[in-house]
Amino acid sequence: MAEKRTNRDNENRSSQERIQAWAPPATLPEVIPLPGYSYHWKRTATLNEADPRNISMALREGYEPVKAEEQPHMKMLSDTNSRFPGCIEIGGLLLCKRPTELNDQRNSHYLQQANQQMQSVDNNLMRQSDPRAPLFKEHKSTVSFGKGK
């Protein structure tokens, strides 16, 4: 006697999933990244006061504003009174992109600068070190076993 079973194609796991907990919406929408580019939100204004120095610095660093056509899901979210027409600006923040190679070069530059500063500090400390009272003393511990009687 064969059991009457439901077809597996008709089973639905969504009814067994937990309901997602409510969370407040994100202030800035998610960016769909294009390969070879990194995205950053750059400040164009603070408290409705324009900040041309910050955005011009970003443009000199190689950032370029992202056009609304590149991220169509953000077209409706962009500010209507933007100083950058056709670009994505939300609440005084402009979405910009830059080639990943430039980011890697920037990161390696600042990493090298930080390493040089640390080396300079270490050299300065070692110059002030006296062998009679060293600043850095290596602590060594040894294990010895007692003699049995």
pLDDT on residue 135: 64
CB distance 39 to 61 below 8 Å: no
Boundaries of every domain in the chain: 39-98
DSSP 134: -
Q: What is the spatial distance between Cα 65 and Cα 68, in angstroms, rounded to a whole number?
A: 9
Q: What is the pLDDT of residues 23-47, one digit of tens each?
A: 888 888 889 889 999 999 999 988 8
Q: How confident is the model at residue 12 (pLDDT cuts 50, 70, 90)?
A: low
pLDDT on residue 38: 94
Q: What is the spatial distance between Cα 38 and Cα 61, in angstroms, rounded to a whole number?
A: 13
Q: What is the spatial distance between Cα 120 and Cα 122, in angstroms, rounded to a whole number?
A: 5
Helix (H, G, I), strand (E, B) or coil at 57: helix
Q: What is the pLDDT of residues 91-139, one digit of tens each?
A: 889 999 999 999 999 999 999 999 999 998 888 877 777 767 666 666 6
pLDDT on residue 128: 73
pLDDT on residue 118: 92
Sequence letter at residue 45: A
Q: SS3 helix, strand, coil % of the chain, rounded to 5?
A: 35, 15, 50
pLDDT at 68 > cutoff 80: yes
Sequence letter at residue 130: D
For range 56-80, the mean pLDDT: 87
- Structural tokens at position 26: 């994100």
What's the mean per-residue pLDDT of the chain?
Answer: 83
pLDDT on residue 2: 66
> Number of H helices and number of E strands within the chain?
2, 6
Q: What is the spatial distance between Cα 62 and Cα 133, in angstroms, rounded to a whole number?
A: 51
Highest average pLDDT, of 3-7, 49-53, 76-80, comes from 49-53
